[in-house]
């Protein structure tokens, strides 16, 4: 007779383990420590075998009987339930090893060391927030394009179209890595090209008209904040590096005698050389008297850390500039690129090298920190002189810049 719930609950441990039969080969084994284990005794190919069905009370008598019946059905088909369990377990381990999340994290671990930390953080955050909850446990080889599209639509519907495009891109990178490592047949995300509406990219606000640049420069010189932020504001248009690279500048990277600043570009992990015009050297020497004994050129409130990444834009807003429509810390790069080419007639390849952009030449060389260095030294000094000329001009329709 099947065991009743009362019999199961009241089964107390004894000095030695004992068994309570439930029927059809299943029994409850009660250990000397009080544990209660469901077991199935059966014969396969003439040998007596045991199959664990679970632990009471996590597995109830009803569930244990269901597992027993399933094992009996396998036996009727000539299949050893113990061997089938090992196969299923191995299959589950393989599925977990080839899940989208496992493959994606493996791909990320290989790529992250060559990325800027901020870039890596954004990618893993997108995967963890927008992909893994829905596709993470799925075997990557079994994922179909509609499943990926559902992920992208979910991101798009919350108003983050640009993020949806980036999620699409990252999923494609993971699928292609899975193909390369033999865990998927193809990149199914490629079937979704055109499924999302184009993202409208907005450029960093910038000032490119000389008359407006003149007013901006005079406002920067008149900034009423701290001397450190004022120096950063005055150097930003002179050097036109990325805002994060400026605020993270360290004194050890500067050679003021040779008028050079050499640092590693965050986006490309390549060394970049910035020739310093006389005006930039003057500002840096003034600032060196204040912060030269510290690590960072522009320390924040905590002297061991650089100034905030929002400091430049916050200062611009304090001066009355709209950082969404007029100028941002990043906008000084666009300002320099436009005026250097259109007004001062410097070659675009010289400008792009100074901006530390990857622009392959005829020989396929993407970037060399010393390429066009003489031209770049001359350009940076001419640029600084031009900005001084603009500041010296008064506003008026007759001024020529």
Rounded Cα distance between 49 and 358, Å, is 67
Find the angle CA(127)-CA(129)-CA(133) to the nearest 5 degrees.
90
* Annotated catalytic residue 357: yes
Q: Which has the closest alpha carbon to 239: 170, 161, 104, 336?
A: 336
User: How open is the CA angle 395-399-401, to the nearest 5 degrees?
Assistant: 105
Buried b (16+ CB within 10 A) or exposed e, 116-154: beeeeeebbebbeebbbeebeebbbbebeeeebbebbeb
**All residues at 6 or more sequence positions from 395 whose CB lies less than 8 Å from its CB, including other chains:** 211, 214, 215
Strands of 254-255's sheet in order across: 254-255, 260-264, 271-275
Q: Which of 165, 168, 247, 330 is catalytic?
A: 330
CA 319/CA 198 separation, integer angstroms: 35
Residue from 36, 168, 234, 242 carrying the catalytic annotation: 242
**272 flagged as catalytic:** no
- How long is the chain? 401
Q: Indicate if the alpha-carbon torsion angle 363, 367, 372, 376 is positive or negative.
A: positive
Exposure pattern of 348-366 as b/e (b: 16+ CB <10 Å)?
eebbbbbbbbeeeeeeeee
Q: Which residues contact 280 (CB under 8 A, 6 or more apart)?
A: 235, 238, 239, 259, 380, 384
Q: Which member of 122, 267, 317, 369 is catalytic?
A: 267
- Cβ neighbours for 362, distance < 8 A, ≥ 6 positions apart: none
Please tell me which residue in 39, 272, 333, 376 is annotated as part of the active site: 333
Residue 367 known to be catalytic: yes
Q: How many CA atoms lie within 13 A of 401 on its CB side?
A: 26
Check if 330 is active-site. Answer: yes
345 given a catalytic annotation: no
The single residue of 165, 337, 367, 376 carrying the catalytic annotation is 367
**Which of 49, 138, 250, 357 does the annotation list as catalytic?**
357
> Which residues are part of the catalytic machinery?
242, 267, 330, 333, 357, 367
């Amino acid at each position: 007779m099947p065991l009743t719930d009362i019999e199961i609950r009241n089964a107390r441990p004894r000095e030695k383990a004992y068994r309570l039969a439930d029927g059809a080969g299943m029994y409850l084994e009660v250990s000397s420590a009080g544990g209660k284990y469901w077991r199935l005794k059966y014969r396969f190919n003439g040998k007596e075998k045991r199959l664990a069905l679970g632990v009471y009370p996590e597995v109830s008598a009803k569930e244990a009987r269901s597992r027993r019946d399933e094992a009996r059905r396998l036996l009727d088909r000539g299949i050893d339930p113990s061997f089938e369990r090992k196969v299923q377990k191995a299959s589950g381990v393989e599925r977990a090893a080839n899940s989208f999340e496992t493959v994606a994290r493996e791909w990320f671990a290989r790529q992250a060391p060559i990325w800027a930390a901020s870039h890596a953080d954004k990618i893993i955050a997108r995967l963890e927030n927008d992909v893994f909850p829905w596709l993470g446990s799925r075997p990557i080889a079994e994922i179909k394009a509609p499943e990926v599209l559902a992920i992208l639509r979910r991101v798009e519907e919350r108003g983050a179209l640009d993020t949806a495009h980036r999620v699409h891109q990252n999923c494609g990178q993971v699928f292609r890595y899975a193909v390369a490592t033999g865990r998927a047949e193809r990149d199914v995300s490629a079937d979704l090209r055109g499924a999302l509406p184009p993202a409208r990219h907005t450029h960093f606000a910038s000032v490119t008209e000389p008359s407006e640049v003149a007013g901006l420069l005079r406002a920067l010189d008149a900034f009423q904040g701290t001397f450190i932020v004022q120096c950063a504001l005055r150097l930003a248009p002179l050097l036109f590096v990325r805002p994060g690279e400026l605020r993270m500048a360290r004194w050890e990277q500067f050679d003021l005698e040779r008028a050079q600043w050499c640092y590693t570009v965050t986006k490309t992990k390549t060394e970049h050389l910035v020739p310093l015009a006389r005006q930039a050297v003057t500002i840096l020497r003034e600032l060196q008297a204040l912060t030269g004994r510290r690590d960072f050129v522009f320390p924040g409130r905590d002297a061991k850390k650089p100034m905030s990444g929002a400091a430049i834009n916050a200062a611009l807003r304090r001066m009355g500039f709209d950082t969404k429509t007029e100028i941002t810390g990043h906008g000084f790069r666009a300002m320099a690129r436009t005026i250097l080419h259109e007004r001062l007639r410097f070659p675009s390849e010289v400008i792009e090298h100074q901006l530390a952009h990857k622009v392959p030449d005829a020989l396929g060389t993407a970037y060399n920190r010393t390429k066009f260095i003489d031209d770049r030294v001359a350009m940076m000094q001419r640029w600084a002189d031009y900005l001084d000329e603009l500041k010296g001009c008064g506003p008026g329709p007759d001024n020529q810049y």
